[in-house]
Amino acid sequence: QVQLQESGPGLVKPSETLSLTCTVSGGSISSYYWSWIRQPPGKGLEWIGYVYSSGSTNYNPSLKSRVTISVDTSKNQFSLKLTSVTAADTAVYYCARDGSGYTHWGQGTLVTVSS
Amino acid sequence: DIVMTQSPDSLAVSLGERATINCKSSQSVLYSSDNKNYLAWYLHKPGQPPKLLIYWASTRESGVPDRFSGSGSGTDFTLTISSLQAEDVAVYYCQQYYNTPRTFGQGTKVEIK
């Protein structure tokens, strides 16, 4: 059973960089697309972008200038970096396996942007 | 971007009654080469990640009760809960995976009347 787990700081200061890692267990990260999705408090779901196991990426244009998603197949992990964060980036961040729908999700991690 | 619009924003249904949620995409999500609709439905409860219910617009994910069904094609889709149970109280989202950026509907909150 494939499981995903997000990890990273729960508090980030404005203008700094948000960094999260998703560890995939119970299966290989290879040959799949892996996405980051977020949900601000009281709002809906927003796709941030995905990375393929080869390292190719695709980002939401609304965040593209600030986002980097990378993969480390040796560790079965993929990561998110979001630069120059503001309060608007406060959200629950999920990692998920992309495909015909998102079949596997992490539990989600709340990241608060505040000084 | 493909805009996904759900209706209604919320609905209250009696236990055992039918609940119907609509989802409209701003452009077709039917891919002509494989004749598949790239549309998924999720159930989302507080404190949990979303749970995939339906993919390809009408294929039920393994383990999902058969009271959940999806229908529609092109730009208009429906999720039906044939007999609402207490555990179905949640926010429901549609999502297109026809292209990027992946986009979700705004969500429909289902409650018990």
Q: Which residues of A54-90 are buried (b: 16+ CB within 10 A; e: fewer)?
A: eeebbbbeebeebbbbebeeeebbbbbebeebeeebb
Q: What local confidence, expressed as pLDDT, does residue A95 receive?
A: 98
Q: What local confidence, expressed as pLDDT, does residue B8 receive?
A: 97
Q: What local confidence, expressed as pLDDT, does residue B40 receive?
A: 98
- Taking the C-alpha atoms of residue A97 and residue A30, their distance in angstroms, rounded to an integer, is 11
* Residue B50, preceding peptide bond in cis (omega within 30° of 0): no
Render A35-48 in DSSP notation, one character per residue. Answer: EEEEE-TTS--EEE
What's the pLDDT band for A66 if we cut at 50, 70, 90?
Answer: very high
Q: What local confidence, expressed as pLDDT, does residue B56 receive?
A: 98
- The tens digit of pLDDT for each residue in B5-41 reads 999 999 999 999 999 999 999 999 999 999 999 999 9
Q: What local confidence, expressed as pLDDT, does residue A55 receive?
A: 95
- The tens digit of pLDDT for each residue in A102-115 reads 999 999 999 999 99
How far, CA to CA in Å, does B3 sit from each of A39, B23, B93?
Answer: 17, 10, 13
Q: What local confidence, expressed as pLDDT, does residue A72 receive?
A: 96
- pLDDT > 70: what percent of chain B? 100
Contact A105 B50 (CB under 8 A): yes
Collect all residues of chain A within an 8 Å Cβ-Cβ radius of residue B9: none
Q: What local confidence, expressed as pLDDT, does residue B112 receive?
A: 97
Best residue in A39, A102, A104, A107 to probe B by mutation, most B CBs within 10 Å?
A: A102
Contact A47 B102 (CB under 8 A): yes
Are B4 and B40 in contact, with CB atoms under 8 Å apart? no
Collect all residues of chain A within an 8 Å Cβ-Cβ radius of residue B54: 101
What's the number of CA atoms in the CB half-sphere (13 Å) around residue A29?
26
Q: What local confidence, expressed as pLDDT, does residue A34 receive?
A: 98
- Taking the C-alpha atoms of residue B8 and residue B109, their distance in angstroms, rounded to an integer, is 8
Mean pLDDT, rounded, of chain A? 97
Q: What local confidence, expressed as pLDDT, does residue B11 receive?
A: 97
Contact B50 A60 (CB under 8 A): no
Mean pLDDT, rounded, of chain B? 98
- The tens digit of pLDDT for each residue in A25-37 reads 999 999 999 999 9
Q: What local confidence, expressed as pLDDT, does residue A65 receive?
A: 95
What's the pLDDT band for A80 if we cut at 50, 70, 90?
Answer: very high
- pLDDT > 70: what percent of chain A? 100
- Six-digit token pair at A40? 């601000």
